[in-house]
C-alpha cells in the first residue's frame, strides 16, 4: 500500500511512475487526497469536541463540590450534546477512513525508476543470458511424454484424485522432486538464510498484509467454513511473521527460506502452453524472504539474483533473466527480475523464479517498522524470490537432460537422489 505522505508530497511523480503500468492514477489519487482531507478535518473536530467534553466534565465536578448544582446541571446538558456530536463524528471518521483504505488497496506499487515502460510480457527487457542449449537426440520428447514413458509423473491419476493440475509423482520422479527441495534448501541455508516451516493456510489479514487480497482473490483457494486461504506461495505466511511488529534496526536483515506446497486456481488458463508441468494448481516451491533496511534493499536484491544464478549454474540449465516492464509487473512489486529456463523439447522459455523488491508497499500494509538511530520510526523493506519453483525446473531437467538411454541426473543432485539416471 502506498504511503499517504508520498502521495501528498509527490503526487505528480507517483502519477508519472504509475503511468509505466499503463494506469491513469490521477482520479484515484485525487479521491485519496480528498478523503484524506476529510478524515483529518473530521479527526480535528472530534479531538476538539472530546477535549471540550472532558473540560466541561471537570468543571461539573468542581461545581457540584462547590454546591452549585444548578450551574452544574446546565453544563451537563451541554456535555450530553457533545457526546452525541462526538459519536456522530466518530462514525463519520470510521466510514471515511475505511473508504480511504479501500481506495488505497486498489493502487499498485510505484515502479522503480529502472522498470521499463511496456504493456505486456513482450516488452520485458532481457538483461542476462547464460548456459548452452543442448543438442538433443532426434525426436526429443516434451516432459509430459517423458513422464509417461518412464512412469515418473502421472497426470491422469491426478485428474482422477483431484482434477487437472494436480499431478502424482511416482518412483524416481518423486525422489527427484524431493532431491530438488532438499538441494534448494541446503543452498539457501548455506547462503545464510534460516530455514522455517510455516502454515499452508492463512487468514484474511495475512492475505491483505502481503497484497494477495484483494488483488488476487480470484486466484486463491478459499475455505469458506473457516475463512482461510490456501497459500499461493510461502511469501505470504513467512512475511506475515512480521505483521504489526516493531523490529530492532540492529537485527536487520532478516533472511528466511521455506519449502511449501503452493495452491493457485489459475482461472482462465488453458491451451498448449499449460500442458504437463507448465501450469499447475498445486506445486512445490522453495522461497526466499528478506526484511531489509531501506538503504540496503537493492543491494540485497542483487544478492538474491546472484544466488539464484549460482543454483542454475550448478544445475547446468540454460537460462535468462528479464527485468519486467510496467505492464507485466506484479501489483505489489517495485522491481522484479524473472528467471526463465530454456525448454529445448518445447523450444520455449519457462519462468522458474521471480525475485522482487516491494520496498515499503507490503510493510505499510503489515505495519512492519523499525526505530532508526535517531529514534524515528521507519517502514522496513521486504523482498522475496523463488529459489526455486519446482515444476518448470523439473521440466527443464527432464527435457534438457534426455538421451537415447534415459534421462541423466544433474551431477549436483546425485548425492540427493542416489541415482544418476532415469531409464
Is 351 a known ligand-binding residue? yes
Please answer whether residues 125 and 325 qualify as being in contact, where contact means their C-beta atoms are separated by less than 8 angstroms: yes
Is 352 a known ligand-binding residue? yes
Is 287 a known ligand-binding residue? yes
Cα(275)–Cα(222) distance, integer angstroms = 25
Q: Which of 288, 269, 287, 286 is nearest to 278 (CA)?
A: 269
Cα(68)–Cα(66) distance, integer angstroms = 6
Cα(4)–Cα(317) distance, integer angstroms = 44
Using CA atoms of 232, 234, 236, 241 in order, give the dihedral in degrees to the nearest 10.
Answer: 160
Is 15 a known ligand-binding residue? no
Is 353 a known ligand-binding residue? yes
Is 384 a known ligand-binding residue? yes
Is 205 a known ligand-binding residue? no
Binding-site residue set for ATP: 264-266, 351-354
Binding-site residue positions for L-serine = 233, 264, 287, 384
- Annotation: binding site: 233, 264-266, 287, 351-354, 384
Amino acid at each position: 500500500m502506498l504511503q499517504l505522505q508520498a502521495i501528498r508530497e509527490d503526487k505528480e511523480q507517483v502519477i508519472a511512475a504509475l503511468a509505466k503500468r499503463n494506469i491513469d492514477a490521477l482520479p484515484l489519487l485525487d479521491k485519496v487526497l480528498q478523503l484524506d482531507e476529510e478524515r483529518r478535518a473530521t479527526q480535528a473536530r472530534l479531538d476538539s469536541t472530546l477535549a471540550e467534553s472532558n473540560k466541561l466534565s471537570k468543571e461539573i465536578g468542581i461545581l457540584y463540590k462547590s454546591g452549585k448544582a444548578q450551574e452544574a446541571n446546565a453544563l451537563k446538558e451541554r456535555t450530553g450534546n457533545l457526546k452525541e456530536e462526538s459519536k456522530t463524528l466518530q462514525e463519520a471518521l470510521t466510514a471515511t477512513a475505511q473508504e480511504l483504505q479501500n481506495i488505497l488497496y486498489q493502487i499498485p506499487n510505484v515502479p522503480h525508476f529502472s522498470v521499463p515502460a511496456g504493456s505486456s510480457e513482450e516488452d520485458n527487457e532481457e538483461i542476462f543470458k547464460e548456459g548452452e542449449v543442448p543438442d538433443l537426440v532426434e525426436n526429443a520428447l516434451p516432459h509430459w511424454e517423458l513422464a509417461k514413458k518412464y512412469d515418473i509423473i502421472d497426470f491422469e491419476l491426478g485428474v482422477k484424485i483431484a482434477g487437472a493440475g494436480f499431478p502424482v509423482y511416482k518412483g524416481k520422479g518423486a525422489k527427484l522432486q524431493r532431491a530438488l527441495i532438499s538441494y534448494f534448501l541446503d543452498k539457501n541455508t548455506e547462503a545464510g538464510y534460516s530455514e522455517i516451516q510455516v502454515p499452508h493456510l492463512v487468514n484474511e489479514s495475512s492475505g491483505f498484509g502481503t497484497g494477495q487480497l484483494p488483488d488476487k482473490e480470484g486466484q486463491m483457494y478459499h475455505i469458506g467454513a473457516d475463512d482461510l486461504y490456501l497459500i499461493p506461495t510461502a511469501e505470504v505466511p513467512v512475511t506475515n511473521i512480521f505483521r504489526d511488529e516493531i523490529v530492532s534496526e540492529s537485527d536487520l536483515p532478516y533472511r528466511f527460506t521455506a519449502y511449501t506446497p503452493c495452491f493457485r486456481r489459475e482461472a482462465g488458463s488453458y491451451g498448449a502452453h499449460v500442458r504437463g508441468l507448465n501450469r499447475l494448481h498445486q506445486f512445490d516451491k522453495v522461497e526466499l524472504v528478506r526484511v531489509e533496511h531501506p538503504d540496503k534493499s537493492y543491494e540485497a536484491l542483487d544478492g538474491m539474483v546472484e544466488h539464484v544464478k549460482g543454483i542454475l549454474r550448478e544445475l547446468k540449465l540454460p537460462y535468462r533473466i528479464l527485468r519486467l516492464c510496467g505492464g507485466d509487473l506484479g501489483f505489489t512489486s517495485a522491481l522484479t527480475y524473472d528467471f526463465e529456463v530454456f525448454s529445448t523439447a518445447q523450444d520455449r522459455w519457462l519462468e522458474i523464479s521471480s525475485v522482487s523488491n516491494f520496498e515499503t508497499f507490503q510493510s505499510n500494509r503489515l505495519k512492519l517498522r523499525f526505530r532508526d538511530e535517531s529514534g524515528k520510526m521507519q517502514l522496513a523493506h521486504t523482498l522475496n524470490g523463488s529459489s526455486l519453483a519446482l515444476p518448470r525446473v523439473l521440466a527443464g531437467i527432464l527435457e534438457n537432460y534426455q538421451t537415447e538411454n534415459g534421462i541423466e541426473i544433474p551431477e549436483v543432485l546425485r548425492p540427493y537422489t542416489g541415482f544418476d539416471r532415469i531409464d
